[in-house]
Chain A
Amino acid sequence: MKKIFFALLLISASLSFANIKVVASTTVIYDLVKEIGKDKVSVDFIARGDQDPHFVEVLPSYMVKLRNADIFFRIGMGLEMWSNQLIDGSRNSHLKTIDLATDIDKKEVPNFKPDASYGDVHPFGNPHYWLDPQNAKIMAKEIYEALSAESNQDEAYFKKNLDDFNYRIDKKINEWTNKMSSLKGKSFIFFHASWIYFADRFGIKTAGFVEPKPGIAPSPSHNAELVGIIKSKGIKTILMENFYSDSAPNQLSQLTGIKVVKVPTAVFGMKNINSYIEMMDNIINQIIQNS
């Protein structure tokens, strides 16, 4: 009996050593960590999939999550302005905070001193890089390296999972690229300035934004300007994150007949979107169907 007890104790101890506790700032990172860490990590997230990741209220319950974590992964580039308050509030002096933007080829890095007159311009560049699936591979590699550093003995396991993920996403990138090829060179209106990485990857063009400046609410005069652009360029689609209000895009739709396509840009952003691949599938399929 005693031997069984000690054996169970040893097994549970070894299991607990293997279990890396991770918190992800967004659900996209959450899914990538699950892809690489699988059963060797326990992972939770902060910003819900149906929530604007720029504006997350600093809740003590998030501090509790970080308090018990070994690693906190975030997008970085100033997207999660709220995260430092959570880190401080967690009082976790062993927490490793890792920005996944380190190896990303950053776009729209301002070559001027950005201030609020430009809207919510991120001084380190546009942080919505996860909408390019090639960048998801870079994020996954960064996650693999961090998990391996945390648990050396599981490095091979994480590497196998990374290779498996890269294999699957490479296939999907080919599929998505083929699907989007018919739209190459076409112009779109986007709601928020978050689509530059996606647009560059699939060769589509940006004709304008519903927001007059990043983060600034749509205005009637700007809408009037967009009506002119939509009519003159024959633009067929407005693409927007599903957590934004669609009242201004719907007005544009009534005035011009343009289609409003609301898509999730995070995992769990809508029903049946439970992984990064499902999210990208949904975005691309909706664009194809409505353009």
Chain B
Amino acid sequence: MKNKFLFIVLTVISIGNIYSQSSINPDISLIGTFNTYTNFIKGSPGYGKLNFDIPEMELFVDGYLNPYARASANISYENNEFGVEELYGDIVRGLPLDIQIKAGKFLVGFGKLNTVHPHAWPFLERPLFHQVFFGEGGFNDVGVNFSFIIPTGDVFTNLDLGVFKGASIIPMSDSYAIDRGVNPIFVGRLGTFWSLDDYTNLEVGLSGSYGCYSKANLVVFGIFNQENVQALNHFYSGLDFKFKYSPTAYSVLTIQGEGLLNNRDVPRIPVMGIDYTLASVQKINNAGAFIYADYKFEKQFSFGIKYDYTAGIFGSAPTFLSLANDDKNSTQGIEAWFSYYPVEETSVVRLGIQNLMYHYADGTNRNNETTIKLQFLFSLGPHKAHPF
């Protein structure tokens, strides 16, 4: 039913665009991504076999509602399903204190990279800690964000404060989890940008997110009675930076990194003989980070490397029980890529390799996993480049 509805919406948009080309129509852009890959996982039946992903699509529709506000939608097609990736309105000017307000469903401004659509990344794989702490689609949530410019002279400083439903923070569909009820989360980021000279720019940001990421029916552990259902809170703090050096029109060096510290409540795993009735929820501290460097050395070529670290085991759907251990387990990744832009940035062919290394505190032995991926990506229409 959902797919049918979205199909009708897409058809109406397309027909509207064909038959009423006019300057008041919104901008419509289509991003297509096609991946083919092979895994090298010892003992896996698919070892070394070529796999073809179903092509992915993002349809962007955006434009001005009036001189003060814009609206945007991003409809995605992934894994044979349509979905509303983003849908929001944005008041860009005219409000007191020059506040900008964005409301709807959108990529949340925690860190720098999360708000950039994946098709604009220079690499192929989403950072591991994004996937472990935010989910496969990144930190994408329903809510409202208030953006303030802090008066710091010629230096651009921006403060984002938002309230969100918290859907992206719940990492599990666990039989122990129960409805969070009305428990919004709060997200903020303070970012400062410096132009070091005509060719060198730097942005540094601090982010935070606090709220109830889930509630646990701890009765099933045999520890609590029903009245003691616990709210499990999280506090994420983040540090990010982006450095860009463009000495010529055709060469750009980008170095970008982010780190996240997670302070989270998790149920303590019962151990025989110990009374947990007074201390059934424990706090864990863990972290995730990535850093990459990408060098574009001609108009048509770039290459780069990324290092990833995340607490927890990447790829496994987390449960209350696994979360209780995710300060002990970890995953590391190294990714390298080479990109070729055949004509300009409207299309790119990218070859990448990623190696994942797992570490289990209980000594579980798991082989490294290597994936080689070839990606073809195109961008049709006026979808705008992301700001720095």
Contact = CB atoms under 8 A, between A and B. Distances in A.
Contact of A88 (B70, B203, B380): B70
Interface string A46-61: 0010011001011111
Contact of B149 (A61, A67, A216): A67
A116 interface: yes
Contacts of B155: 64
A61 B154 contact: yes
Interface in B324-346: 343-344, 346
B362 to A, nearest CB: 47
Contact of B93 (A64, A88, A216): A88
A290 interface: no
Interface string A238-263: 00000111000000000000000000
B100 interface: yes
A41 B246 CA distance: 31
Report which residue of B68, B94, B344 has the largest number of chain A beta carbons within 10 angstroms of its beta carbon. Answer: B344
Contacts of A82: 384-385
Determine which residue in B201, B246, B343 has the highest number of CB atoms from chain A within 10 A of its CB, and name it.
B343
Interface in A12-50: 48
Those 7 A-B pairs whose CB atoms lie nearest each other, nearest first: A60-B156, A58-B387, A91-B98, A60-B193, A61-B195, A93-B93, A88-B92
Given A59-B193, A60-B193, A91-B149, 6 more contacts: A58-B385, A60-B203, A61-B154, A64-B155, A93-B98, A245-B250
A89 interface: yes
Interface of B: 21, 68, 70, 92-94, 98, 100, 149, 154-156, 158, 193-195, 198, 201, 203, 246, 249-250, 299-300, 343-344, 346, 380, 382, 384-388
14 contacts: A48-B198, A51-B249, A55-B249, A60-B158, A61-B154, A61-B193, A64-B156, A81-B384, A88-B92, A91-B149, A116-B380, A217-B300, A217-B343, A245-B299
Given A64-B156, A93-B93, A116-B346, A59 B300 contact: no
A52 B388 contact: no
Interface in A70-96: 81-82, 85, 88-89, 91-93
A57 B198 CA distance: 12
Nearest to B195: A61
Contact of A52 (B93, B98, B194, B249): B249
Contact of B387 (A59, A215, A244, A245): A59
Given A116-B346, A243-B249, A58 B388 contact: yes
A85 B384 contact: yes
Contacts of B249: 51-52, 55, 243-245
A216 B70 contact: no
A63 interface: yes
Contact of A85 (B21, B380, B387): B387
A122 B4 CA distance: 37
Interface centre among A57, A63, A216 (most CB of B within 10 A): A57
B94 A61 contact: no
A244 B299 CA distance: 10
Nearest to B68: A93
A178 B388 CA distance: 46
B348 to A, nearest CB: 14
Contacts of B68: 93
A215 B109 CA distance: 34
B247 to A, nearest CB: 11
B241 to A, nearest CB: 14
- Kindly name the residue among B70, B149, B198, B201 whose own CB sees the greatest number of chain A CB atoms within 10 A: B149
B116 to A, nearest CB: 12
Contacts of A93: 68, 93-94, 98
Contacts of A116: 346, 380
A112 to B, nearest CB: 13
Contacts of A91: 92-93, 98, 100, 149
Nearest to B385: A58
A116 B303 CA distance: 26
A271 to B, nearest CB: 14
Contacts of A92: 93, 98
Nearest to B98: A91
B20 to A, nearest CB: 14
B84 to A, nearest CB: 23
A64 B192 CA distance: 12
A59 B387 CA distance: 6
A63 B201 CA distance: 14
A63 B380 CA distance: 27
Contacts of A67: 98, 149
A82 B387 CA distance: 9
Contacts of A216: 343-344
Contacts of B98: 67, 91-93
A64 B299 contact: no
Contacts of B158: 60
Nearest to B94: A93
Nearest to B192: A60
Nearest to A120: B344
